Amino acid sequence: MKQKWLRDESEQWVNEGIIRPEQRDAIMSRYKGRDRLSLIFFLSALLIGLSCLSFVAANWQVIPELIRMLIIILFMVGFYILGHVFEQRANPYYGMISYVVALSIFGAGIFLVGQMYHYTMNSVFAFIVWGIVAYLLYLSRPYFFIFLSGLAIVTVGAIYGLANMHAFDWWLFALFVIGYGSIVLIQNNRLISYFFAISYSIQLMGYTMDYLGSYYWFSVFGLLLYLFGLVVYKEQISIPFRRTPLVIMFGLLLIQTLIFEFSYRPEVHVVFYLILTVMLIIAIVMISRKNHLLKLSHLVIFLPIFLAGDLSQFLAYIVLYVFSVGMILDGYQSDHERRFHFGTGAFLLTTLTVYVQVAWGFLNQSLFFLLGGIILFFIGFLLERKRKTMTGQKRKGV
C-alpha cells in the first residue's frame, strides 16, 4: 500500500516539476517490495512449528518431564537461531518475528514448567522473569515489536496480579518504569513513547480501580505523566506523554457525565486534594514560564468535577467545551494541524454528548435526529472551513 502511494505521488511530483524522472527512479529503488517467496517459506515454517507445539500441548500430560523440557528448549533455541539466520541474510523483518516467537515460547515454558512441578501462581514472579528476558532481548536485538512484546508482558502481568490476587506488584512496575522507561528516553521514538504511555495508563487505571477502589485517583497519575511530558525537552517523548493522559481523561469525563446523571458521588480522601492541588500548581507554573497560556485550558480536564454536587453534570459540560475550544485555539495559534483536528473531534463529541443527554428526554425522536444532524453539520462546516484556512496559510508560508 505504501509503495503504491509512493509510486503515484512521485509520478505526480514529476508532472508538477518538483523532481526529475531520474530522481523518482532513485527514490523508488530505495523502497523495493519484500521477497514474497521467502515470506511464504517463513510462514510455512512458522505454521509447522505451531502445529508441533499444538500437538505437544494436546499430549503434554503423557510426555515425560525431561522430554517436555527438551521440547521447550529446542523450539525456543531453534527460533532464536532462525532469527539470527534471517538477520545474516538481510531479512530483519522475519528475524524479528522469529525472536518474538522464541520469546513467546520462553514465556509459555515458564508456565508449563510451573505446571509440571505444581508451582502455584500466587505472584507475578513469572511475568517479572519474562519481562526481564524481553528487555534483555531488546537490548541485543532492538526491534520495535520485541519492545512492544515486553510492554505487553509487563502490562498483562500487572493486570493479572490485580485481577487474581488484588495486589499491585511494585517490582514489576519498577521494571516497567526503569527498564522500559530508559528505552523510551534513549530511543526518542514517538510510537514507542505512545505505547509506553498507554501501558502506564492501563496499569495505573487498574491500580486505581481495583486497589484504591476509586477511578478519580487516575487524574493524579495522569497529571503526573503530563507533568513529565512538560519536563522532557524531547518532542518525540513529550507529545505522547502529554497527549495520552489528555485523551484518556477526556474519555473518562464523557463517561462521568453519564454517572453524574444518577447523582453518583465517590468518597474522597483529603490526600487526594493535597496531591492534585500541588501538581496543578506545578503544571500552571511550568506552562506559564513557557508562555503557552492556551495550554492552561488542558489542565481543566484534570479537575475533580464530582465535588460540585448537583451541578457536576453541568460543570462537566463546561469543562469539556473549555478543553475542546482551548485545544482548537492552541492548534490554530501554533499552526499544529493534528492538535486542531483533535480539538475539533473533542468539540463534536462534546456537542453530541450534551445534545443526546439534554434533548433525548423531551424531543420527538425523528425531530431529535434531524435537529442533531443539522447542528453537527453546521458545526462541522465551520470547523472544516477554519481547518482549510489554516492549511492554506501553512502552504503559503504565512
Question: Which strand (E) or helix (H) includes residue 375?
Answer: helix 365-396
Sign of CA dihedral 309, 310, 314, 317: positive
Of 395 and 158, the one with more pLDDT: 158
Q: What is the pLDDT of residues 19-48, one digit of tens each?
A: 877 777 777 766 655 445 455 655 665 566
pTM of the model: 0.77
User: In 3-state terms, what secondary structure has residue 328?
Assistant: helix
Report the distance separating Cα 355 and Cα 256, nearest Å. 16
The proportion of the chain whose per-residue pLDDT surpasses 70, expressed as a percent, equals 75
Query: For residues 135 and 10, what is the distance between their CA atoms, to the nearest angstrom?
Result: 40
CB 200 within 8 A of CB 256: no
C-alpha grid cell for residue 328? 482548537
Residue 331 has pLDDT above 80, yes or no: no
Comparing 10-19, 22-31, 125-134, 199-208, the range with the smallest average pLDDT is 22-31
Q: Could you tell me which residue, 272 or 37, shows the higher pLDDT? A: 272
pLDDT at position 91: 77
Return mean pLDDT, the chain: 79
pLDDT at position 3, please?
Answer: 60
User: What is the per-residue pLDDT across 78-111, written as a single tens digit (0 to 9) for each?
Assistant: 888 988 888 888 777 778 888 888 888 888 888 8
Q: What share of the chain is helix, strand, coil (3-state, %, to 5)?
A: 85, 0, 15
Q: What percent of the chain has pLDDT over 90?
A: 23
Nearest in space to 79 (alpha carbons), one of 137, 153, 4, 144:
137
Q: What is the pLDDT of residue 398?
A: 45
pLDDT band at 70 (very low <50, low <70, confident <90, very high): confident
Tell me which of 6-20, 121-135, 179-193 is least confident: 6-20
